[in-house]
């Protein structure tokens, strides 16, 4: 009975592992070109990008320049920020990895962010809809995160 269970678990692992491997992020050599190409196709060639569409900055403190894409700076067929809502605009966070290229590690719908130093580390303070701090109204929620490697670690919420 015990060996049958082991065989079944191994069989399940063989079926699941290829799916997990495919789900891993692939490297993007130029996230700005990648995003602009995507939106140019989506907007049927009628896309324009504001100065704040892509920001280069080291967000994970590894000395490599990462990229943050603000979809609120996209104008698609005459509509500015077509995916923006009352909860903010989508931002895509790409981390530059030592192997070369970038990995998309997070997408967040936010109003904006500040990049500040806190306790000796650079952190992102993201301004988000109040419901992310379990409120229905009032001032925007501020979520402070430190990016370690390719993971966002929440430091504080207020």
Tokens of 136: 């229905």
Among 54, 31, 56, 57, smallest CA distance to 122 is for 57
The distance from CA 146 to its chain's CA centroid, rounded to whole angstroms, is 13
20-24, 67-71, 97-101, 116-120: range with lowest mean pLDDT: 20-24
pLDDT-based confidence at residue 24 (cuts at 50, 70, 90): low
pLDDT score for 7: 36
Give the mean pLDDT of the chain: 84
pLDDT score for 120: 77
pLDDT tens per residue, range 81-127? 999 999 999 999 999 998 889 999 999 999 999 988 887 778 999 99
């Amino acid at each position: 009975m015990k060996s049958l269970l082991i065989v079944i678990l191994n069989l399940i692992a063989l079926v699941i592992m290829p799916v997990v491997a495919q789900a891993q992020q692939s490297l993007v050599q130029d996230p700005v070109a990648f995003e602009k190409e995507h939106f140019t196709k989506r907007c049927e060639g009628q896309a324009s990008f504001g100065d704040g569409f892509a920001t280069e900055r080291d967000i994970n403190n590894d000395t490599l320049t990462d990229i943050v894409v603000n979809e609120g700076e996209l104008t698609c067929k005459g509509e500015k920020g077509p995916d923006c809502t009352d909860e903010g605009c989508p931002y895509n966070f790409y981390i530059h990895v030592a192997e070369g290229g970038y990995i998309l590690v997070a997408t967040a719908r936010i109003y904006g962010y500040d990049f500040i130093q806190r306790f000796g580390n650079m952190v992102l303070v993201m301004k988000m809809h109040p419901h992310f701090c379990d409120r229905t109204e009032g001032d925007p929620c501020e979520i402070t995160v430190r990016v370690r490697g390719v993971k966002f670690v929440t430091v504080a919420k207020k």
